A and B are shown apart, each in its own frame.
Chain A
Amino acid sequence: GQQVMQIPQYQHVQEGEDFTTYCNSSTTLSNIQWYKQRPGGHPVFLIQLVKSGEVKKQKRLTFQFGEAKKNSSLHITATQTTDVGTYFCAGWESGGYQKVTFGTGTKLQVIP
């Protein structure tokens, strides 16, 4: 079945440093979504990418979808303590029956 891996699994950064998490799928995706889960909370939708090579920005967050639609990345510029949490990518299978597979997640810790 489809597998979606994320690296790194954990990342500790000093406040103000940049952070990037990478998402890789074993199969081609129709689209990819990113979610953030704060400690003790539930996953919250951030953004969706649909087109090959697409890049979207939300303030300090930059999201990219790979040309082959099998990988994606999330980059945070100048991290803040409010960025703490686990970031998940979620890939929708091409041709599948609306099945979305969540990545393994990257837990971000920001040291003030």
Chain B
Amino acid sequence: DTAVSQTPKYLVTQMGNDKSIKCEQNLGHDTMYWYKQDSKKFLKIMFSYNNKELIINETVPNRFSPKSPDKAHLNLHINSLELGDSAVYFCASSFRDRESPLHFGNGTRLTVT
């Protein structure tokens, strides 16, 4: 199926741990994003890559490090997890053309205890 897929779907971990979330899209898109959705449902962009190049890097703690090995993959590594990192993280992709809609993955619900 053509889609944006993220793994894992759920992630429960303790404070101080390091974790990664993976994202892959087979839609042929050249731009990928990471969004964070908090408990109030606000969707905030964290990072965006275009053809493996970082083009958007919002005010995000250095503990968050994205990596894009190729234009179909965008991973997110988080160091020293904190309680406030608990949220749903969505990967999305689109074409660089700004009229292109975003296609979202199913999300990763991260719970830090």
Contact = CB atoms under 8 A, between A and B. Distances in A.
Give the size range of A's interface with the partner: 20 to 34
Given A98-B96, A105-B43, A107-B41, A43 B31 contact: no
A111 B98 CA distance: 37
A98 B99 contact: no
B56 to A, nearest CB: 6
A42 B42 contact: no
B45 interface: yes
Given A42-B107, A50-B99, A92-B98, 4 more contacts: A35-B102, A41-B106, A44-B104, A102-B35
Given A43-B104, A97-B55, A31 B31 contact: no
Contacts of A107: 41
- Which secondary structure characterizes the binding site on chain B? strand
A86 B88 CA distance: 15
29 contacts: A30-B98, A31-B98, A33-B102, A35-B102, A37-B41, A42-B104, A42-B105, A43-B43, A43-B90, A45-B102, A45-B103, A48-B101, A50-B99, A86-B41, A92-B98, A97-B55, A97-B56, A98-B56, A98-B96, A98-B98, A99-B56, A100-B45, A100-B98, A101-B45, A102-B35, A102-B43, A104-B42, A105-B41, A105-B43
B54 to A, nearest CB: 11
Contacts of B107: 42
